[in-house]
Chains A and B, each alone.
Chain A
Amino acid sequence: MMKPLFLVVFLTLFSSKIMAQEVAVFDNYANLEKAILSEKNTTYVVNFWATWCAPCVKELPYFEQLNLENKKVKVVLVSLDFKDQYEAKLIPFVKRKNLQSQVVLLTDKDYNNWLPMVNNEWSGAIPATLILHQNQKIFVEKSFENFSDLNEFVTKNIN
């Protein structure tokens, strides 16, 4: 009787470790904001990226480290990958890199509508990063050089 139970527990533990996170898909930015960026007491660091964007992929480890080390913030990685590459590229990427920060896919193509909701000055180039902190929005359209570059920028803006 003990043996199968043990096996089940073991498998469950094991599989939860190797299983990648679920990546939620949103086709509308306003809905995404409501669903995952709306907790009043949370400071969000939202990074807009895509698997096809080399400078984005390069800076992802800095965001992962930030999520791990800076307990004051929650990192959300908003992928702008193409809808038809969700299964083929995004999911394998998240698995391979073992991303721990929350990843969501945003397929809202009405850029002209939602980009200004993030920030009016955003030209649309990625990577781009948004900090949501106590009703403030801090936005930057650039790549971070390294972890301390990112961490200093975040710390400076939330204190």
Chain B
Amino acid sequence: MKKVSLFIAVIAVFFFSSFAVNVPVPYKIGDKATDFKLKSVDGKMYSMADYKNAKGFIIVFTCNHCPFAKKYEDRINDLAKKYKPQGYILLAINPNDPIAQPDDNYEAMQVRAKEKAFAFPYLVDEGQKIYPQYGATKTPHVFLLDKNRIVKYIGAIDDNVDSAADVKEKYLENAIAALENGKNPSPETTKAIGCSIKTKK
């Protein structure tokens, strides 16, 4: 009887898991994130592996069109400038399909990067292959990785989208500080509103 139920259990697991194959499981804290090789607005390709001496990576899924992402543009730029000298490299990835969301096409990204003098690579998720692996669902959506690409923090940049001046908790900066001190960030994940990622129809 035991054997039969075990057999059924094995079959059931096999049966259900076979359906989940095509949907990657979103990263959780402690998972190792994939590297990528993506084109930036300067026409060059960027990978995390290029930054041999990095202490960590700030991966920001963001885009041109989303009002929520726009509210964070300047803050993202400031973070990139502030943390690069400290060894934390900010890489922004636009996950949206350029047909589904024309405001987020490559040329528009180049224009926006120039207007706002982005101090970070602004990468195209060509073919939308990277964001599903990370489990990004919206813009902006931040993943903080340590130098071994282990996911340490997932969520929002801070707790006030409307005004940088009124922020009470700088979630991302606190998480970087925790990493610097060899600690785990607290909180490790936060929630925030954002624009859903626009996929190819």
A interface, CB within 8 angstroms of B: 50, 52-53, 55, 80, 82-84, 109-112, 115-116, 122-127, 141, 143
Contact = CB atoms under 8 A, between A and B. Distances in A.
B159 A110 contact: yes
Given A112-B156, A112-B159, A125 B191 contact: no
A83 B162 contact: yes
A143 B191 contact: no
A88 B193 CA distance: 21
Contacts of A52: 66-67
B179 interface: no
Nearest to A82: B162
A50 B193 CA distance: 11
Contact of A124 (B137, B159, B198): B137
A138 B52 CA distance: 47
Contacts of B156: 111-112, 124
Given A80-B193, A111-B193, A123-B137, 11 more contacts: A82-B67, A82-B162, A109-B161, A111-B159, A111-B192, A124-B156, A125-B195, A126-B193, A126-B194, A126-B195, A143-B196
Interface size class of B (residues with CB under 8 A): 20 to 34
B187 interface: yes
Contacts of A123: 137-138, 141, 191, 194
A124 B161 CA distance: 13
